[in-house]
């Protein structure tokens, strides 16, 4: 049984990694997808991967921090599929440093991508939903899932900007769960621990990603990864597919009475 048959889902940062796996998992449940990535090639590849799963999919190539992005994203979904049922705010990256070395630009960039962008996208989507007739009693619930981090729920040395933005996203989630609940909109968050992606790979030489023309070093040294394995009760990092599974749980009809929650997907690291 495909539990999201006919639903339309928006997923930011879905060109690779966790975002792509979220989109694929939603597609396997029957959803139509509007995916986003900063870079065109991964975005187009994601559409092809979703179509290979039998899903209908379109992409919007842009930075989620662009002021015009929310309008483009929502309007693409409405033009392509006629409605929106699910939003997953997943896009983001890390830019770490100790507080004494952190610039205003670095602080602002982390808040822009991890907190301001989700706020703007949700605001645009809710304005659309508010303009619609009240849904029928049997129409089910709409879902918003924000991707936070255990850095946001517990803090992390060297990640003051990133952790602050992710903590702010938790506050946004809980506030909107209260505000939008009467309209049958569930708002939840997931807080990822160590998920094995290019951002958390073992550092081997010079490991960088490019974000808007700026190179950011990513990855963790082997001793740090070995320490994480010892501290995680499951004794391993999670896969992108496992991370996606937690997100999809909060998008299914079975989660219609779950709202305002932060689910830590971390193998038990934060307990």
Query: Which residues 6+ apart lie within 8 Å of 42 measured at CB?
Result: 15, 16, 20
Cα angle, residue 20 at apex, residues 14 and 24 outer, rounded to 5°: 125
Question: What's the CA gap between 65 and 45, in Å, rounded?
Answer: 22
- Taking each helix axis as running N to C, give the angle between helix 17-28 and helix 40-52, from 0 to 180 degrees, rounded to the nearest 10: 30
Cα angle, residue 56 at apex, residues 21 and 16 outer, rounded to 5°: 25
Active site residues: 162
Scored b (16 or more CB within 10 A) or e, 156-175 reads eeebbbbbbbbbbbbebbbe
Question: What's the CA gap between 226 and 240, in Å, rounded?
Answer: 19
Question: What's the CA gap between 266 and 243, in Å, rounded?
Answer: 9
Question: What's the CA gap between 246 and 146, in Å, rounded?
Answer: 12
Question: What's the CA gap between 189 and 250, in Å, rounded?
Answer: 9
Which of 201, 82, 66 minimizes the C-alpha distance to 74? 82
Cross-strand pairs, 211: 214
Question: What's the CA gap between 169 and 12, in Å, rounded?
Answer: 15
Q: How far is CA 259 from CA 114, 180, 184, 225, 251, in A?
A: 20, 10, 10, 33, 11
């Amino acid at each position: 049984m495909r539990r999201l048959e006919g639903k339309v889902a928006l997923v930011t940062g879905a060109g690779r990694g966790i975002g792509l796996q979220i989109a694929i998992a939603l597609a396997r449940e029957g959803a139509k997808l509007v995916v986003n990535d900063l870079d065109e090639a991964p975005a187009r590849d994601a559409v092809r991967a979703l179509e290979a799963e039998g899903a209908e999919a379109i992409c919007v190539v842009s930075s989620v921090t662009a002021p015009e992005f929310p309008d483009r994203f929502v309007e693409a979904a409405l033009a392509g599929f006629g409605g929106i049922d699910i939003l997953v705010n997943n896009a983001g990256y890390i830019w770490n440093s100790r507080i004494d070395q952190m610039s205003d630009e670095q602080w602002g960039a982390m808040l822009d991508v991890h907190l301001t962008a989700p706020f703007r996208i949700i605001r645009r989507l809710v304005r659309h939903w508010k303009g619609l007739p009240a849904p029928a009693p049997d129409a089910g619930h709409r879902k918003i899932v924000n991707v936070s981090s255990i850095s946001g729920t517990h803090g992390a040395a060297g990640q003051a900007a990133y952790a602050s933005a992710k903590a702010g996203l938790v506050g946004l989630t809980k506030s909107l769960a209260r505000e939008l609940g009467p309209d049958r909109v569930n708002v939840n968050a997931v807080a990822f621990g160590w998920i094995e992606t290019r951002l958390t790979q073992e550092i081997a030489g010079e490991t960088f990603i490019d974000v808007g023309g700026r190179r950011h070093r990513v990855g963790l040294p082997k001793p740090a990864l070995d320490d994480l394995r010892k501290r995680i009760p499951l004794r391993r990092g999670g896969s992108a597919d496992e991370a996606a599974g937690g997100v999809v749980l909060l998008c299914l009809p079975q989660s219609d009475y779950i709202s305002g929650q932060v689910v830590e997907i971390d193998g038990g690291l934060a307990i």
